[in-house]
Amino acid sequence: MKRELANKGEEELRKLSVELRLLEQTAEAVQSRANMVNAVITDLTYATMTLDGLEKEKENAELLIPIGGSSYAKVKLASTDKLIVGIGAGVSVEKSLPETKEIVKKRLEDLAKSRNALQQQFVQVAEKINDDRRKFESLVAAMREEKPATDV
């Protein structure tokens, strides 16, 4: 009878151990997606600030445009009437400044919703991990009580 209980306890420990590993991998994946969403939000926030600045500039104004690697190019602003905005799948279209600002604003709103959903998902996974760890620890403690220590 004791052996059956020990086997059941060991089987439960194995199941919990596997579930914990899967949950930890899920938590890492959710965190990774949240980090990517945050990076895009940061990028779009910079785009919003740039668009706000462009709105105040006049034609032929000299601007410094970032080209990457902390490097910039000096350019003259031809016009703010038409901007090129990516719409996905490598496709870009010409839009007015107000239209471009609206597209960026909508993307930011969508990403904020995604970030909130990911945060909720992460909290749920973290709670399940904590529950499983408590179960695991109490099972280990119960099994130790069942198995009296043997002197060697």
Tens-place pLDDT, residues 59-103: 889 988 889 899 999 999 888 889 999 988 999 999 999 999 999
What's the length of the chain?
152
Strands 62-68 and 71-76: antiparallel
Q: What are phi and psi of 106, to 5 degrees?
A: -65, -40
Instruction: Show contacts of 93-101: CB within 8 Å, 24+ apart.
Output: 97/51, 97/54, 97/55, 100/51, 101/48, 101/51, 101/52
Nearest to 57 by CA among 31, 76, 36: 76
Q: What is the pLDDT along the chain (152 residues), one digit of tens a residue?
A: 556 656 787 899 999 999 999 999 999 999 999 999 999 999 999 999 999 998 888 888 998 888 989 999 999 988 888 999 998 899 999 999 999 999 999 999 999 999 999 999 999 999 999 999 999 999 888 888 876 655 55
CATH number of 2-55+95-146: 1.10.287
Q: How far apart are CA 115 and CA 67, in angstroms?
A: 28
65 — alpha (psi -120 to 50), left (phi > 0) or beta?
beta
